[in-house]
Amino acid sequence: MTSFILKIIAMVSMFVDHLGISYFHYTTTMNLIGRIAFPIFAFQISEGFIHTKNLKRYALRLFLFALISQIPFMCFRSIYTEGFALNIFFTLTLGLLSIIAYDKIVKSPLELCKNAKINIAFKIAFGIFIAIILGILSELLYCDYGFFGVAIIFMFYLFKEHKVAMIISFILACVINYGLDILQYGYHYLYIWLCLFTILPIIFISFYNGKQGRKVKYLLYFFYPVHLLVLYFIFR
């Protein structure tokens, strides 16, 4: 399964979710389908870091579209809720920054002692700590998906060479995320279904073959704000 196919699956599921919110004012089935989208986008960020030729340009592009998408995002949110939040591109940007920071720290020449293993362990721990700080920042800024979003982006990169560990860590992150919701809001069977459908895209990700497929560099970037605006003007 190519990167192009993964992106199409994610965009279709996202559109189904947003259509359900705007037209039907929320339906469980369409919302569950929408849970498939973000983990795929998160995985694509980790892959983008690995394959991009210019990290600075990649990060700036994400941030630029975060700014571009904010007004369409807030317009769309006004259909079904009130209050301020930052769109998904901000989450993706913070996730990418967590990977960049970790990579620079781990590969830095810093040495605290003569024991190489201790130096490596410290760098890894410090890199993870920075990722946690960025995850907390995403919560404080009310980014879409918040800490969970940044965390799974980072974990997809951290375990990129170990598919089994990547799958297990992702499933655990989903269980913890919805488990915390249950502790905070009380048990409801819907949280179980949300968790299962958030886990579901790991199947598609597991079949990723490392190939780009059809080149559609800006398809997702423009699709996100445009479809939000279209839905807003139709169903407001």
Cβ–Cβ under 8 Å, residues 157 and 49: yes
* Residue matched to tokens 């700014």: 67
CA pair distance 235, 86, nearest whole angstrom: 21
> What's the half-sphere exposure (Cβ side, CA atoms, 13 Å) at 2?
9
What whole-number distance in Å separates Cα of residue 64 and Cα of residue 89? 9
pLDDT reported for residue 214: 81
* Amino acid at site 45: I
Residues of the chain below pLDDT 50? none
User: Which of 53, 55, 75 minimizes the C-alpha distance to 63?
Assistant: 55
Torsion angle, alpha carbons of 144, 148, 152, 158, to 10? 130
Position 113 scores a pLDDT of 65
